């Protein structure tokens, strides 16, 4: 899509100048008043554009929370992740439907729970979906609460569950199952134990 931002700014600046510069012969107070709201509106538009231009890097911009309320400790990447109901199967074969964010793009997988408020982490899950089975490790950089992570094979079986701790100063610890997996599910620490889901018994029910 063509970027028309420069043209739009020029047009907005021109519009502001047309409003602020009085006509020849002077402008009475009565004539000026109706246009004050118009000036304020245009200045707000310019300010909004500047804020948009100065957004922070991927995964670090404060955005909207799940319920659409601004300023609640999420990121734009987190907010834009698709939300789906997934089905987990516990050790006894019971199906547990849960709502999860889907991290399906490289940017979403890289962002994960980084810069997310701990209260939101407590009620959220992220399912990382990779294009093929692979063996990678996860880190806890910029993650503000401990997490459970389940590594899941292509057939949906849970291969391993680990608890990832908040980084201590200077820590660079990573977490992985040292085997190939296709999916990874992150949730608050204790989630899988609370729902009686363990590695080798529990699974992700695939379509």
Per-residue pLDDT of the chain (207 residues; tens, 9 = 90+): 334 444 444 444 444 333 333 333 333 333 434 455 554 544 444 444 333 333 322 222 233 334 434 446 999 999 999 999 999 999 999 999 999 999 999 999 999 999 999 999 999 999 999 999 999 999 999 999 999 999 999 999 999 999 999 998 888 899 999 999 999 999 999 999 999 999 999 999 998
CA distances from 87 to 17, 38, 77, 162 (A): 58, 52, 24, 20
**Whole-number pLDDT of residue 98:** 97
Percent of residues in the chain assigned helix, strand, coil, to nearest 5: 30, 30, 40
C-alpha triplet 18, 22, 27: angle, nearest 5°: 140
Instruction: For tokens 């810069």, name the residue.
Output: 115
CA dist., res. 45 & res. 12, Å (int) = 8
In this structure, are residues 195 and 187 in contact, taking their beta carbons and an 8 Å threshold? no
**pTM beyond 0.95, yes or no:** no
Cα gap 48→120, rounded to integer Å: 27
Residue 169 pLDDT: 84
Taken in order of first residue, the domains within the chain and their CATH numbers are 5-53 (no CATH), 62-205 (2.60.120.1140)
């Amino acid at each position: 899509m063509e970027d028309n931002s420069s043209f739009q700014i020029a047009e907005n600046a021109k519009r502001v100048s047309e409003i602020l510069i009085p006509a020849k012969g002077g402008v009475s107070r009565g004539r000026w008043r109706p246009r004050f709201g118009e000036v304020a509106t245009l200045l707000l538009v310019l300010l909004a554009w500047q804020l948009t231009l100065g957004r922070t890097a991927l995964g670090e911009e404060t955005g909207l929370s799940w319920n659409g309320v601004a300023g609640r400790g999420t990121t734009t990447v987190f907010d834009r992740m698709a939300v789906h109901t997934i089905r987990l199967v516990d050790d006894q074969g019971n199906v547990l439907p849960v709502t999860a964010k889907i991290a399906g793009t490289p940017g979403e997988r890289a962002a994960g729970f980084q810069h997310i408020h701990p209260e939101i982490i407590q009620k959220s899950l992220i399912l990382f979906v990779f294009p093929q089975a692979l063996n990678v490790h996860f880190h806890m950089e910029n993650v503000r609460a401990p997490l459970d992570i389940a590594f899941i094979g292509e057939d949906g079986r849970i291969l391993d569950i680990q608890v990832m701790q908040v980084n201590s100063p200077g820590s660079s610890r990573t977490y992985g199952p040292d085997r190939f997996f296709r999916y990874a599910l992150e949730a608050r620490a204790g989630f899988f134990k609370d729902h009686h889901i363990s590695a080798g018994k529990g699974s992700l029910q695939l379509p």
